[in-house]
Amino acid sequence: MEYLLLASLQGFFFVCFILAFVVFKSWKIATSSSGEIKKSFRPAGISAKIESLVAVLRFFVSGPSIILDGYANGKNAPYVVQTQGKDLVIVSSDNHIKELLEAPETQLSLHAVAKDLFKPKYTMYEFDVHDEMAANGSMHFRVLRTLLTANLPRMLPELQNMMQREFAKETLQGYTKTDEWSRIPTFDVAKRLVARINSYLFVGKDLTENPEYLEAALAYPQEVFVTGEVLQLTPEFLAPVVTSIATKQGKALKTMLRYLFPIVEERLRQREKGILPSERPLDCLQWIIDSSPTKEKWDAKKVVQETLALWFGSVHQLSMAFVYALYDLVDNPSYITLLREELASAPDGWLSSLNDLPLLDSFLKESTRLSPSDSISLRRKALKTFIFSDGTVVPKGSWVCVPQRAIQRDAAYYENPERFDGHRFIKQGSALTDLDARFPFWGLGKRACPGRFYAVGILKMMVASVIEQYDIDIDQATNPEDRMFWWRSAIIPKSTIELRVHERQKTRA
């Protein structure tokens, strides 16, 4: 986002306008006097309104702390966190979560949240996201939950080779003769690795080996995130101008479109010719085409839009989970030896036994328990005022959420919750992909993440590849909390933190 800031006098005034608009909008939220807001625990009085304004602005950089404090102050009781643009009504009791999941999408909508966050009309090639799931179809569930999961085992050997090859290149670039260790920017490397692996699965080998396309594919999710954030802070009439500035005139998107459209058009022609399933490419792009409606056939633009939407959600979450797992290995080095022993003991090689590595699964689940990439989950936007059975009100336009980070650190559910215990979930008999109200990392119910089986498989492969082939450490004796920063409710690794890497004796899975 730094290219937006003070790049010119025009840019300076643009940033000043955005900041002024944020303060103005925050004050309007803080001084709202609607009856619905009052029922949602909003304080009254001028001093309280000033406090509300401060709270709205503070959430930008202290959201996880605010959410955690609210949970600790009234465990399982609903509470409201004021943010720019909307209130977050936070619920955590079993009854509230059950009612949230059972609420019709005409009242509480997951897709409306996505529209608020990422503004797909402007960031995803005019992608039209409907508030109700039925209107959006079930294509992505079939592609991610069924086809990708089923085909992943046969693709893992090539993906592992790619992971090992690219990680070796990264370590070579960071190599120093002083101590024979390499130093790599952990988060940046993680994003590059995940982008390459995902690109292979999404669009195949040819585009993945195209540097221009891969660079654009890596930049695009970041541009969507930054642009979505900026658009939340600006009036609607400025959206086209802001989008153009924030995306450098849509450079990454235009590059992706230039390469994707000819491929999609050719595959649609092949479909019309009746190409046999055995002759079709094995990638998500083809599965999107194969899973599209048969009555109202999608054109190339629609296929590309769906591909962009799935691609956006595929890179950063997995990258962050990988980074936090590496940090937890460094902070708990005894597990490296134990995990290497587990990998070495797999009778047919660990790559074909990813579902039979209980310590690796438990370790990674403990890592995501303590270091989720967001403080909240199960986001839903109220399309109309929603009232829980206990009288808790979610005003129209507000969000209702579950405080996943707080729940996952609750001593009522986890013994010694602040202590890292890599064996915790072996003892509990719980797998990383399991859905659980005490571990709402993947969401819950019918809207739970359909790509979690793929994500866990890739995460295990990446972590196992590193610990089998490398010793790792961190230069700075940093507190784990200092390796990340907060933005709204998100918890994001800092790009400045470097991992020290030293190659071990060559081994293979």
DSSP string, 363-391: HHHHHHHHS-SBS-EEEEEESS-EE-TTS
Residue 494 CA, distance from chain mean position? 15
Determine the 3-state secondary structure of 404 from DSSP: helix
DSSP string, 254-268: HHHHHHHHHHHHHHH
Residue for token digits 């209702």?
Answer: 400
Contact 119, 160 (CB under 8 A): no
Question: If phi over 0 gives left and psi between -120 and 50 gives alpha, with beta otherwise, what is residue 494?
Answer: beta
In angstroms, how far apart are the furthest CA atoms of the chain? 70
CA 419 vs CA 117, 331, 338, 415, 416: distances in Å: 33, 11, 18, 9, 6
Q: Is 16 among the annotated ligand-binding positions?
A: no
Residues 243/15/113/364 CA torsion (nearest 10 deg): 100
The Cβ of residue 116 has, within 10 Å, a number of other Cβ atoms equal to 18
Name which of 146, 103, 139, 43 is nearest 399 in CA terms.
103
Q: Report H helices in 129-238.
A: 133-136, 139-141, 149-173, 186-203, 205-208, 211-232
Amino acid at 335: Y
% helix, strand, coil for the chain, step of 5: 60, 10, 30
Determine the 3-state secondary structure of 420 from DSSP: coil
Task: Give the C-alpha separation, 80 to 40, whole Å.
Answer: 7
289: Cβ contacts below 8 Å, ≥ 6 apart: 264, 267, 268, 271, 298, 303
The Cβ of residue 304 has, within 10 Å, a number of other Cβ atoms equal to 23
Cite the annotated binding site for heme by residue number: 449
Cite the annotated binding site by residue number: 449
